[in-house]
Amino acid sequence: MNTQASQAADSSQLILALSKGRIFEDTLPLLAAAGITVTENPETSRKLILPTNDPNVRVLIVRASDVPTYVQHGAADFGVAGKDVLFEHGGEGLYQPIDLNIARCRMSVAVKAGFDYETAVRQGARLRVATKFTEMARQHFAKKGVHVDLIKLYGSMELAPLVGLSDAIVDLVSTGSTLRANNLVEVEEIMDISSRLVVNQAALKLKRARLQPILAAFERASAQAK
Ligand SMILES: Nc1ncnc2c1ncn2[C@@H]1O[C@H](COP(=O)(O)OP(=O)(O)OP(=O)(O)O)[C@@H](O)[C@H]1O
Ligand SMILES: O=P(O)(O)OC[C@H]1O[C@H](OP(=O)(O)OP(=O)(O)O)[C@H](O)[C@@H]1O
């Protein structure tokens, strides 16, 4: 077992997986409610394992889409991940007790202004859809009975319809300003998105005494923030 995984396996140690940016920022107040302060800032530190005020609690800084993988394999005991990321991962090996109501947005279909999406769908056209969220898109269009060719991208999805790579995109929308700035319009909302706490199923049993007060504090703090 590697060092991180063996740290996670030590029942006195708790390892939390977080991504930099909005999830890290929005999780800080929840950690504070559990009496935990992260003592280094991932925006300025190059460290990937951050200490906290509690010598038994450490934070792993990972890509947002990698959080479920670290927790599933027990390299982290718990983590915070968006519903979008969990949907793509599938949730295997993860206990998902709490919707933290942070990083709220929605998953939507968007097209270039002027593209008649409704007519294309009604006429049974085969649509080219660019997205990072291929599982979400696959299920959405299968449910609607729309034939699609999915084009996997890893970011800047908004560009695809502008340069003729796709007819539509499936992406996250919050204020809508990225769509507006790129002359795109939202034509369908697929689902509301927020982030959830995810816990390794073995850690939940073996470290229940350590985890339970933290889960309870997260639950109280996220309910207050609603
Ligand atoms: N504009 C937004 N407003 C609110 N929440 C958002 C927004 N965009 C994404 N999110 C949520 O925050 C999560 C983390 O987003 P973030 O931008 O930090 O990671 P990412 O760059 O999409 O992931 P990766 O690094 O794995 O490609 C997303 O999975 C989603 O649930
Ligand atoms: O509706 P808005 O408020 O404009 O937010 C939507 C944007 O937010 C996300 O990108 P993000 O800011 O996370 O950038 P990234 O995809 O490069 O990480 C998403 O992929 C959209 O591009």
Structural domain tally of the chain? 2
pLDDT tens profile 86-107: 999 999 999 998 999 999 999 9
Q: Shortest CA distance to 176 belongs to which of 184, 188, 168?
A: 184
Q: Are residues 26 and 97 in the same domain?
A: yes
pLDDT band of residue 34 (cuts 50, 70, 90) is very high
Average pLDDT, the chain: 95
**Cα distance between the two ends of the chain:** 40
Judged by its nearest atom, the ligand closest to the C-alpha of residue 186 is 2
Q: Are residues 177 and 66 in the same domain?
A: no
Q: Are residues 77 and 136 in the same domain?
A: no
Determine the residue type at 115.
F
Q: Position of tokens 């699609």?
A: 148
**How far, in Å, from the CA of 178 to the mean position of ligand 2?**
7
Q: Are residues 172 and 67 in the same domain?
A: no
Q: Are residues 154 and 200 in the same domain?
A: no
* Residue 216: how many other CB atoms lie within 10 Å: 13
| Nearest protein CA to atom 20 of ligand 1, as residue | 64
**How far, in Å, from the CA of 157 to the mean position of ligand 2?**
9
- Tokens at 91, concatenated: 């949730």
* Residue 224: how many other CB atoms lie within 10 Å: 10
3-state secondary structure (DSSP) of residue 111 = strand
pLDDT tens profile 140-183: 999 999 999 999 999 999 999 999 999 999 999 999 999 999 99
Q: Are residues 133 and 76 in the same domain?
A: no
| CA-CA-CA-CA torsion sign (46, 3, 21, 189) | positive
Higher pLDDT, 224 or 89: 89
Q: Quote the domain boundaries for residue 20.
A: 3-103+194-224
Q: Are residues 22 and 96 in the same domain?
A: yes
Judged by its nearest atom, the ligand closest to the C-alpha of residue 68 is 1
Q: Are residues 99 and 202 in the same domain?
A: yes
Q: How far apart (Å, rounded) are the C-alpha atoms in residues 43 and 32?
A: 19
Q: How far apart (Å, rounded) are the C-alpha atoms in residues 216 and 202?
A: 18
**Can you tell me the mean pLDDT for 41-61?**
97
Q: What is the CATH number of the domain that holds 58?
A: 3.40.190.10
From the CA of 22, give the closest atom in ligand 1: 18
| Nearest protein CA to atom 19 of ligand 2, as residue | 172
Q: Are residues 82 and 171 in the same domain?
A: no
- CB-neighbour burial class of residue 9 (10 A; exposed 0-12, middle 13-18, buried 19+): middle
**How far, in Å, from the CA of 31 to the mean position of ligand 1?**
20
Q: Are residues 11 and 85 in the same domain?
A: yes
3-state secondary structure (DSSP) of residue 144 = helix
From the CA of 21, give the closest atom in ligand 1: 18
**Can you tell me the mean pLDDT for 186-194?**
98
> What is the total residue count of the chain?
226
Q: Shortest CA distance to 196 belongs to which of 69, 18, 35, 42?
A: 18
Whether the per-residue pLDDT at 1 is higher than 50: the answer is no
- Cα–Cα distance list, 139 to 110, 136, 143 (Å): 16, 5, 6
- Tokens at 146, concatenated: 């729309």
Q: Are residues 34 and 99 in the same domain?
A: yes
